Structure 1
Amino acid sequence: MSVFDRYKYYAASPESPVSHAFVVTPDDSADLTHVTRALYVGCGGDLRVVMADGATVTFAALAVGWHPVRVRRLLATGTSATLITGAIYHLGWSWPERDWCAGRLGDAGSARAECYGVRDWAQRHGRRGQLGCAL
């Protein structure tokens, strides 16, 4: 039996709770797959990171718990904290859906689709049949 998700088709916003998480492995040369919205540190210590804006920062003696930092890379050198998880929120649409919507509805449709999420926008504007497979 599947779990009912009341908020599945609601548009995410910066105030939304995180909805996806991934293990973060410290690496001096590779960026993460996503810029994080927050990091969870399972075993405290120092955290040396490259922030979303490119600045390199060391957070000294971080405690176990959630830390609302937008990080693009977790550096191995200078990081002693372990059991780190990155968290993001999902916007409710994929790039192919957004691009398909933009192709059908033009730039204005694309901007609205990015703002609300393709599925939510289509439902609000009665375009479900026009978007076909994208929904």
Structure 2
Amino acid sequence: MPILDRFAHQGPGPDGPAVRCFAITPDDDDDLPELVRGLYVGGGGAVSIHDAEGGTTVFSGVPSGTVLPVRARRVRATDTTATALVGLV
């Protein structure tokens, strides 16, 4: 029996729900396997990213359980103290 997908009509656009998730290990040199539409922060702290255009931003004091609605190409090890990071695609 096929599974009911109430969100199929929303497609993979940035405003729709994530269709895939993956664990992120911060890295100063390597980009993520693909741009994400958001980052889930399981353990609070700071998150340093390179955004979709290559700019660097540090989000400080991010509480546990937060979803950052940001298009990131890399999560940097430098300045990232948050843990349990998940990419939302």
TM-score (norm 2): 0.87
The runs of at least 4 consecutive aligned structure 1 residues that moved more than 4 Å come to none
Provide, for residues 91-122 of structure 1, a one-character-per-residue CA deviation record: whole Å limited to 9, x for no partner. xxxxxxxxxxxxxxxxxxxxxxxxxxxxxxxx
**2:40 corresponds to:** 40
Which structure is richer in relative contact order (CA contacts within 8 A, separation 6 or more)? 2
Q: Which runs of 5+ in 2 are unaligned?
A: none
Cross-structure match for 2:73: 72
Aligned equivalents of 1:27, 1:7: Cα separation in 2:
33
Paired with 1:21 and 1:53, the residues of 2 have a C-alpha distance of 22
The 2-side partners of 1:6 and 1:58 are apart by 35
CA distance in 1, matches of 2:40, 2:57: 17
TM-score of the superposed pair, with normalisation by structure 1: 0.59
The runs of 5 or more residues in structure 1 that have no matched partner are 89-135
Q: Which has the higher helix share?
A: 1
Per-residue deviation, 1:18: 1.2
Provide the C-alpha distance between the structure 1 equivalents of 2:10 and 2:81, rounded to a whole number of angstroms: 37
Listed one character per residue, the Cα deviations across residues 24-82 of structure 1 (whole Å, up to 9, x for unaligned) are: 11011000011110100000001111111100111111112111011100011111000
**Cα root mean square deviation, aligned:** 1.6
Amino acid at match of 1:72: R
Number of aligned residue pairs: give it: 87
Residue pairs, 1:92-111, within 5 angstroms: none
Displacement of 1:83 in angstroms is 0.2
SS of the equivalent of 1:41 reads strand
Q: Which amino acid aligns with 2:62?
A: L
Give aligned-pair identity as a percent.
39
